[in-house]
Amino acid sequence: MPDTVVLGGGIIGLSTAYYLAKLTRDAGVQHNIHIVEPSSQLFSSASGKAGGFLAKDWFNPTMAPLGELSFRLHKELAEQNDGRAKWGYAPVISYSLDRYASSHGDSDSESNRDTDSEPPVSPLSEQRSLEGETRDETQRNGHATGQVNETEVPPRHNQNRSSAGEDWMEAGESRVVAVEQRLAEASERPVGAGAEEQAAAALALANADAEAAALAEENAATAKLDDPLWLRAKPHALQAISDKTTTAQCNPQQLCEFLLNSCLAMGVRLHHPALATHLYHADSNDPASQTMLKLTNISKTGVGRTIRTASYELPVDSLVVAAGCWTPDAFRTLFPDAPRPPTIDRHAGYSVRVRSRHWQPAPPSAPAPYAGPCHAVFTSDPSGFSPELFTRVASELWIGGVNDSQLPLTDDPTDTLPDPDAIERMLAVGRELCGDDIEVIDASVCFRPVTPTRKPFITRVDEKALGAGVVPQAQAGAGVPGGVYVAAGHGPWGISMSLGTGLVVAEMVLGRETSADVKSLGKW
């Protein structure tokens, strides 16, 4: 029976373990699968703190097959497992917002929503109130070292920069380049390409046909309900850059919890908190004997000091390194003679979750739950960052966009606290666009792994690249190729590309043809 160990209990490692367990279960094949996670708290970095924005076709051709596969898998997983209720999966309409667009048209028109006025209370939730709701009291405060990145160029204000997929994390490793490309594509469409404008145009064209006109009118009403009514913005300042079929949203921590529980139900073993320390042969005199991986349990003292306790071993035929920003450290620890470990750097991103009385959709558990889309709004800020606002099914908004490339990477992500100044910058945007009465749920900082090529590494590592030390290898009759695999470096697209990456790596481990072509992602 083959043994696979996945280093990293974040969304990439969990997705790999999930699909590996599912594929082997469906094939009736036994396979031992282990997940090793050293952090003191699960999902304490990007896998639990990211925005959860999902895109189908926002990627360069080298990553497009993986992006499309992953988007499809997100949709299928949600449909098969009530993802809207369990992890907040929902289709999304994405917009680019010009916060400083000059007024035009009839200023007295009802459609000319003034940014200086309060947005209407959501008609979807008039019967709900923030009073009496359970509050998340985990709001964290503290000071982080390093300076907030002030080099990002907001959308609409950088017309000369490349929009190639390899640059999708340029300008602070955010989604700003991808947004600019979508905005450019949307600008080439006829004026009025937003959902409401398209429906209105269809209504005008269908006047000669009563039945078509009635349908178009119904579509126009539906489109208006889909608008981001919670947003303080003039309609002409908003431009739709994607529809409900190409972008979506989820709560990444809840998705990780679902994946973990599913893995455990399929027999996957979780080792947490534990650290992989070295590889060796079961028989030191026989290099063909079973490769063993030594794990050490770790814990924190009351003063935050990490101590190592008991050690034990696991047999390993296949080793998957999916440890995000910590991938190079894990690689160097196990393969100290490797001539060139993967080059993956960290890029910190701050975020804040808030509640607004203008976004209170009826939850999936309600008798009449809100079934419409969520929204993603990308905009700019004169202070030099690119705010992102994502509404979620659970009556909350996620606000991000302030990044920091200098914040030191800690061994345990829970040791890094969000910078109050960075959080306040995002809250200022939130108050302007959502109202002064927004309520803070919590504030976070997470580390996203970025590579020099701005493309993730997804590959089976050539044995020569591992050096002269002990290397995992499949035992006779294991039925798998064995070896070492790396899956890391997804930058701001880790949640979006997680399921596709997991399926592809699982297929690699089993020696199968992959569901997406990732050959161009195999070198560092």
Angular region, 76: left φ>0, alpha ψ -120 to 50, beta rest: alpha
Q: Residue 42: is its pLDDT beyond 60? A: yes
**For 69-112, how does the pLDDT look when each residue is reduced to its tens digit (9 = 90+)?**
999 999 999 999 999 999 999 999 999 999 987 654 443 333 33
Last residue in a domain, options 428, 450, 472: 450
Contact 266, 28 (CB under 8 A): no
End-to-end alpha carbon distance in the chain? 32
Q: Residue 380: is its pLDDT beyond 90? A: yes
pLDDT of residue 333: 98
Taking residues 452-469, report their average pLDDT.
96
Decide if 52 is inside a domain.
Answer: no
Decide if 73 is inside a domain.
Answer: no
Do 212 and 312 belong to one domain? no
Q: Count Cα atoms within 13 angstroms, Cβ side, for 397.
A: 29
pTM here is 0.83
Question: Collapsing DSSP states into helix, strand and coil, what is residue 274?
Answer: strand
Task: Place 182 in a pLDDT band, splitting at 50, 70 and 90.
Answer: confident
Q: Which of 176-185, 265-274, 353-362, 471-480 has the lowest mean pLDDT?
A: 176-185
DSSP 54: E
Question: Read out DSSP for 273-323?
Answer: TEEEEEEEESSTT-TTSPEEEEEEEEEE-TTS-EEEEEEEEEE-SEEEE--
pLDDT of residue 519: 96
E-strand spans in 405-505? 439-450, 457-460, 483-488
pLDDT of residue 164: 34
pLDDT of residue 213: 58
Q: Count Cα atoms within 13 angstroms, Cβ side, for 465.
A: 15
Cis? peptide before 273, omega within 30° of 0:
yes
Contacts of 59 (CB under 8 A, 6+ apart): 66, 67, 165, 168, 178, 493
pLDDT of residue 206: 56
Do 163 and 228 belong to one domain? yes
Decide if 471 is inside a domain.
Answer: yes
Whole-number percent of the chain with pLDDT over 90: 71
Decide if 77 is inside a domain.
Answer: no
Question: Collapsing DSSP states into helix, strand and coil, what is residue 270?
Answer: strand
Q: Residue 124: is its pLDDT beyond 80? A: no
Do 94 and 200 belong to one domain? yes
Task: Place 17 in a pLDDT band, splitting at 50, 70 and 90.
Answer: very high
CA distances from 522 to 17, 48, 281, 333, 345 (A): 20, 26, 27, 21, 17
Decide if 356 is inside a domain.
Answer: yes
Task: Place 174 in a pLDDT band, splitting at 50, 70 and 90.
Answer: low
Do 186 and 112 belong to one domain? yes
Token look-up 């992006």 returns 67
Query: Alpha-carbon distance 446 to 41, whole Å?
Result: 13
Top-confidence residue, 116 or 323: 323
Q: Residue 239: is its pLDDT beyond 50? A: yes
Decide if 79 is inside a domain.
Answer: no
Q: What is the dihedral of CA 458, 459, 465, 469, to 10 degrees?
A: 100
Q: Residue 223: is its pLDDT beyond 60? A: no
Taking residues 26-49, report their average pLDDT.
97
Decide if 316 is inside a domain.
Answer: yes
**For 275-304, how does the pLDDT look when each residue is reduced to its tens digit (9 = 90+)?**
999 999 999 999 999 999 999 999 876 666
Do 446 and 495 belong to one domain? no
Do 465 and 510 belong to one domain? yes
pLDDT of residue 217: 55
Q: What residues make up the domain containing 286?
A: 3-47+253-344+453-521
Contact 58, 96 (CB under 8 A): no
Decide if 392 is inside a domain.
Answer: yes
Closest CA to 336 of 412, 280, 271: 280
**CATH code of the domain in which 282 resides:** 3.50.50.60
DSSP 131: T
Query: Alpha-carbon distance 334 to 178, whole Å?
Result: 36
Do 340 and 350 belong to one domain? no
Top-confidence residue, 42 or 307: 42
Write out the two tokens for 409: 């990477």
pLDDT of residue 524: 86
Write out the two tokens for 56: 């189908």
Do 175 and 320 belong to one domain? no
Top-confidence residue, 399 or 159: 399
Task: Place 171 in a pLDDT band, splitting at 50, 70 and 90.
Answer: very low
DSSP 267: T
Cβ-count burial of 356 within 10 angstroms (0-12 exposed, 13-18 middle, 19+ buried)?
A: buried
Query: Alpha-carbon distance 94 to 245, whole Å?
Result: 11
Task: Place 514 in a pLDDT band, splitting at 50, 70 and 90.
Answer: very high
Do 315 and 280 belong to one domain? yes
Token look-up 């919890």 returns 257
Do 275 and 128 belong to one domain? no
Do 336 and 276 belong to one domain? yes
Q: Calculate the average pLDDT of the chain.
A: 84
Whole-number percent of the chain with pLDDT over 70: 77
Task: Place 186 in a pLDDT band, splitting at 50, 70 and 90.
Answer: low
Contact 483, 463 (CB under 8 A): yes
Closest CA to 177 of 520, 493, 521, 488: 493
Task: Place 224 in a pLDDT band, splitting at 50, 70 and 90.
Answer: low
Q: Residue 146: is its pLDDT beyond 90? A: no
Write out the two tokens for 158: 């950088």
Contact 158, 185 (CB under 8 A): no
Write out the two tokens for 512: 């199968």
Amino acid at 47: S
Domain count of the fold of the chain: 2
Do 438 and 295 belong to one domain? no
Last residue in a domain, options 422, 450, 478: 450
Last residue in a domain, options 450, 466, 501: 450
